[in-house]
Structure 1
Amino acid sequence: MRETPVCTAADAIYKLAAGNLKYLNAENGSGDISRRIRMSTWAKGQSPYAIIVTCSDSRVIPENIFSAGIGELFVIRLAGNVIDDHQLGSIEYAAGHLGCRLVVVLGHTHCGAVDAAINSEPAGYIRYITDEIKKAIGDETDPYKASCLNVRHSVQEIEKSLCIHNIKEETGLRVVGAMYHIEDGSVEFL
């Protein structure tokens, strides 16, 4: 386990909120994507300050939403931001080996996976995703409320991990939910 965290969970939430404000204001000078930082992360390794678990939706780009540069966020994407063993393994790696002290499950408005869970019985492998979302949302039919329930369920699934529990006890790791509002670009921490 990394001895020195990049920053505390509270500092990470502050950085994310400040980055989202830059994004909302369309300020230049978002995250560093320079050659210098690319070379630095190649030579020194990555030191992300937060783990973002989010949907694969092409409109949801955490590095832009939080005005983050190369190496600042450890991003895990899956349609519907559902949690399975692969996502948990990635979260455990980033929290345990990279020193991240914050996990954010970032849902979003107008999520196609949540909509499919509410309104249809999809065929193929997407059914694995919608079945997991259905467990989270129960009978909820309001898309926004269902998306929030899905985020909270994913947070709970992460917190069930014994490894994550131990990291929380040792380091103060926090797992929080948030919603990205596609219509205006804002992030609401739940």
Structure 2
Amino acid sequence: MYAHYMKRKIDFVLALLGLIVLSPIYLIIIIAIKLDSKGPVLFEQVRMAQHKQAFKIYKFRTMRTDTPHNMPTHMLAHADSFITPVGKFLRKTSLDELPQLLNILKGEMSIIGPRPCLMNQKDLIVARDEYSANDVKPGLTGLAQISGRDELPIPVKAKYDGDYCQKITFVGDVKLFFETITSVLKHDGIKEGKSNTQERESIKFRRI
């Protein structure tokens, strides 16, 4: 009942309230981005929605306009060189994700769910298929995000996403929401740039 009927209604109400309450913060961030670097305020990128459909995700722009567009930031070599000064703060505090409240209002995302991956992240998509995690609406945050985020190997990340999708409950979503706040305050699992382990994984999947 909750997953199929109530979850969308709660998402819509909370996203709308969030946009209203946080509007002063939005304004401050917009001004800071415009003063900090050239380029648009919002960053749009094609991501994978429920049932492997494509949609445009919204974020506050945190990187230079010449940054490679369709690559996860934690997989970029020398990612720090692309991130703007204001962008470093936004990413550290996860404030760059706030525009995704618009995606939630549009029904493309949920507050809690697997993070939407890039359409070219075939290894993650295939791994999620094993758990039917691609059949659930992607979220602003999820179980994988509070369990390691960028530090997680792909099979482990997919398993966390699958564990969430197999048992979606109101109590579970509330718990994940507050655990996300704690994780953001502690800056858990945030990686900017490719680690040696990720480099080896990337080479392995390219060979496959």
User: Under a length normalisation based on structure 2, what TM-score does the superposition of the two structures give?
Assistant: 0.29
Q: Normalising by structure 1, what TM-score?
A: 0.31
Tell me which protein shows more helix as a share of its residues.
2
